Chain A
Amino acid sequence: MTEPSDHLFRHESGRMVAALTRIFGFHNLALAEDVVQEAFCRATEVWAFRGVPENPSAWLMATAKNCALDTLRRERTARSYAPELGRLLESEWTLAPVIEEAFAPNAIKNDLLRMMFSCCHPQLAEEAQVALILHILCGFSVDEIASALVSTHAAIEKRITRGKKTLAKSKKLFDVTAPAEFSLRLPAVHTALYLLFNEGYHGANPEFAVRSDLCREAMRLTAVLLEHPLCATPGTNALAALMCLHAARLPARIDAFGNLSSLSDQDRSVWDQQLIAEGISLLARAAKGSELSEYHIEAAIASVHANARGIDDTDWAKIVSLYDSLMTIRASPIVALNRAIAIAQRDGPDRGIEEIQAITDRDRLRSYPFYWAALGEFELRSKRYETAHGHFRSALAVARNDAERHFFSQRASSARQNAVALSYYEPEA
Chain B
Amino acid sequence: MSEFTYLFRGRQIPSSPEQRQKHLEKWVAWFQDLGSRGHLKNPGHPLEDTGKVVNGQQKTVKDGPFAEAKDVVAGFIVVAADDLAHAVELSKGCPILEVGGSVEIRPVQIMNL
CB–CB B46/A46 < 8 A = yes
Q: A46-B46, A49-B31, A49-B43 are in contact. Are A140 and B24 (CB under 8 A)?
A: no
Contact segment of B12-20, B62-70, B84-92, B105-113: B12-20
Distance A174 CA – B17 CA, assembled complex (angstroms): 26
Kindly provide the distance from the CB of A7 to the nearest chain B CB, expressed in whole angstroms. 7
CB–CB B18/A139 < 8 A = yes
CB–CB B28/A47 < 8 A = yes
Q: Which chain B residues border A45 with CB–CB below 8 Å?
A: 46, 74-75
CB–CB A49/B24 < 8 A = no
CB–CB A40/B17 < 8 A = yes
Q: Mark A345-375, 1 if CB is under 8 A from B, else 0.
A: 0000000000000000000000000000000
Kindly provide the distance from the CB of A213 to the nearest chain B CB, expressed in whole angstroms. 9
CB–CB B18/A47 < 8 A = no
Distance A143 CA – B45 CA, assembled complex (angstroms): 32
Residues of A in contact with B, size category: 20 to 34
Number of residue pairs across A and B with beta carbons under 8 Å?
69
Partner among A46, A48, A139 whose Cβ is within 8 Å of the Cβ of B16: A139
Q: Does A182 contact B (CB under 8 A)?
A: no
Q: Which chain A residues border B75 with CB–CB below 8 Å?
A: 45, 49
Q: Which chain A residues border B104 with CB–CB below 8 Å?
A: none
Q: Does A37 contact B (CB under 8 A)?
A: yes
Q: Which chain B residues border A4 with CB–CB below 8 Å?
A: 21, 24-25
Chain B residues 35 to 90 lying within 8 A of chain A, measured CB to CB, are: 43-46, 74-75, 77
Q: Does B2 contact A (CB under 8 A)?
A: no
Q: A48-B46, A49-B77 are in contact. Are A141 and B16 (CB under 8 A)?
A: yes
Kindly provide the distance from the CB of A83 to the nearest chain B CB, expressed in whole angstroms. 29
CB–CB A41/B31 < 8 A = no
Partner among A1, A8, A49, A141 whose Cβ is within 8 Å of the Cβ of B32: A1
CB–CB A139/B17 < 8 A = yes
Distance A44 CA – B96 CA, assembled complex (angstroms): 12
Distance A48 CA – B23 CA, assembled complex (angstroms): 9
Distance A50 CA – B35 CA, assembled complex (angstroms): 12
Q: Which chain A residues border B46 with CB–CB below 8 Å?
A: 45-46, 48-49
Partner among A1, A8, A49, A141 whose Cβ is within 8 Å of the Cβ of B15: A141
CB–CB B18/A37 < 8 A = no
CB–CB B21/A7 < 8 A = yes
Chain A residues 267 to 305 lying within 8 A of chain B, measured CB to CB, are: none
CB–CB A40/B43 < 8 A = no
CB–CB B16/A140 < 8 A = yes
Kindly provide the distance from the CB of A265 to the nearest chain B CB, expressed in whole angstroms. 33
Q: Mark A45-71, 1 if CB is under 8 A from B, else 0.
A: 111111110000000000000000000
Nearest first, the 5 A-B pairs at minimum CB distance are A141-B16, A48-B27, A9-B17, A45-B46, A9-B21
A residues near B, CB below 8 A? 1, 3-4, 7-10, 12-13, 37, 40-41, 43-52, 139-141, 143-144
B residues near A, CB below 8 A? 13, 15-21, 23-25, 27-28, 31-32, 43-46, 74-75, 77
List 15 A–B pairs whose Cβ atoms lie within 8 Å, in order of A's numbering: A13-B17, A40-B13, A40-B17, A44-B27, A47-B28, A48-B24, A48-B31, A49-B27, A49-B43, A49-B46, A49-B77, A51-B28, A141-B17, A143-B16, A144-B18
